[in-house]
Structure 1
Amino acid sequence: MPGLPATSWAVLGLLSYGEELSGYDLKKWSDWSLRFFYWSPSFSQIYGELKRLEKAGFATSRMVAQETGTRDKRVYRITDEGMTAVRTWARTAPVDPPVLKHGPMLRLWLGHLLEPEQMREVLGKHREFAESMRRRAEADVSGAESEEAWKYPMLTLKWAERYYASERDLADAMLADIEELEARGRSEAPEPGTRP
């Protein structure tokens, strides 16, 4: 297997659905799918990966004329070699375990340095974010159901919907745990005027 970074394989995977796509299209598709479970590369990263894939012979490009007054656009298509490579990578490359990089959890870990209200605010914002992502994934599931080629990406969107629902529920559970810690602290506090 060629030593391509995972982002190259993700971009090549987007092209594997058989359509000619511009860099702009690839960014939209990654925002609709990859961002829920991997990440959505920036435009500059997408164009850099497309150059790498063309150099490796895994993609080709051509210019397509646009309406009068607008620039022509470059569209990309996967090659037979690219399809073979991404299929081989998907079937044989080791699957890396997910790496958890969780900002709210880091803040919770440092909760002794925050006021309880600050910690509740961090968890409340995380809950809102998780619910927002869950709703977006749910909406994208319904949009992907009509496309036969998107049956497996639709399953990843369902996974994302369930994942963000669990993140929302975990934030609720952590908020309840903070309340419990505070209640326990109040009940264990010495009465005013008495020695600890």
Structure 2
Amino acid sequence: MTEHAGGETDGLNVSPTGWALLGLLTSGEELSGYDIKKWINWAIRFFYSSPAYSQIYSELKRLERLGLVSSRVDAGVRSRRMYKITDAGQVAVERWINDDPVEPPTLKHNPMLRVMLGHLLKPGRLREVLTDHAAYAEQLHQAAATEVRWTTEQPAWAYARLALKWSEQYYAAERELALQMIKDLDAVEETFGENVTGGIQFPVREYWYELERRIAAESAQGDPGGDPAN
């Protein structure tokens, strides 16, 4: 299978979210956009960004134009459009998940960006940010743990349970890292205060260039444990 520029695979321009939606439809059942959003909020939100309803419906229409899903209007009590994967969609999503390269995760960690630029924060503000983040991580840890319990009785959810179990452990670790960082702040603030005179220069361009050269030399020597001061 070839992957083309712009996210095209075998001529199909499908976004990562589109592939996720196709994957959810492989159960064979018809699902509405609302059904899909509920499933995403139940499990996928722990490890993949949760699309808005508007994006879900936009992606479903796109997949239908590509012939990967079909739809019909269910004129019940609440008229709704139901989507079902086509044979072509089943073949495409199986090829994608088996043959396409698995991209490494992209981390955009806003609390850590605040930590990196901590010299700009008002006194006490970084503790608030990290405390809030620890609480957020604990909230998701507990939510994932609840979902793990409710997947146990359904054999068909065994793979979903694996992902949810990972999510439970991930957010527990995230919470502990935030709490440890709060404990480490005293020493950091003390060291930072002692070494700052006449304002701060961050980063110092010449220093980073020199550091880059040292790291390159260290890597060339195959000695990752070398003393960076030498």
TM-score (ref. length: structure 2) = 0.76
Amino acid at match of 1:61: S
State the distance in 1 between where 2:103 and 2:192 align: 42
Match of 1:32 in 2: 42
- Which of 44, 47, 52 lines up with 2:54 in the alignment? 44
**8 A contact 1:12–1:82 mirrored in 2:** yes
Counterpart secondary structure, 2:124: helix
1:114-193 to structure 2, matched below 5 A, reads: 114-182=121-189
State how many pairs are aligned: 185
Q: What displacement does 1:176 show? A: 1.2
TM-score (ref. length: structure 1) = 0.89
State the distance in 2 between where 1:3 and 1:147 align: 34
The percentage of aligned residue pairs carrying the same residue is 51
State the distance in 1 between where 2:122 and 2:145 align: 35
**8 A contact 1:135–1:161 mirrored in 2:** yes
Match of 1:85 in 2: 92
Match of 1:21 in 2: 31
Structure with the bigger RCO (C-alpha within 8 Å, sep 6+) is: 1
Counterpart secondary structure, 1:19: coil
Q: What displacement does 1:89 show? A: 0.4
State the distance in 1 between where 2:28 and 2:22 align: 10
**8 A contact 1:17–1:149 mirrored in 2:** no
Q: What displacement does 1:121 show? A: 0.2
State the distance in 2 between where 1:182 and 1:110 align: 13
Where does the alignment leave 5 or more consecutive residues of structure 2 unmatched? Answer: 1-9, 196-230
Computed over aligned residues only, the root mean square deviation of the Cα atoms, in angstroms, reads 1.6
Indicate how the Cα distance of structure 1 residues 98 and 153 shifts in structure 2: closer, same or farther if over 3 A, else same. same
**8 A contact 1:20–1:76 mirrored in 2:** yes
- Residues 33-67 of structure 1: CA distance to partner in whole angstroms, max 9, x if unpaired? 22111111110100011111111111111122323
Counterpart secondary structure, 2:73: strand
Q: What displacement does 1:80 show? A: 1.5
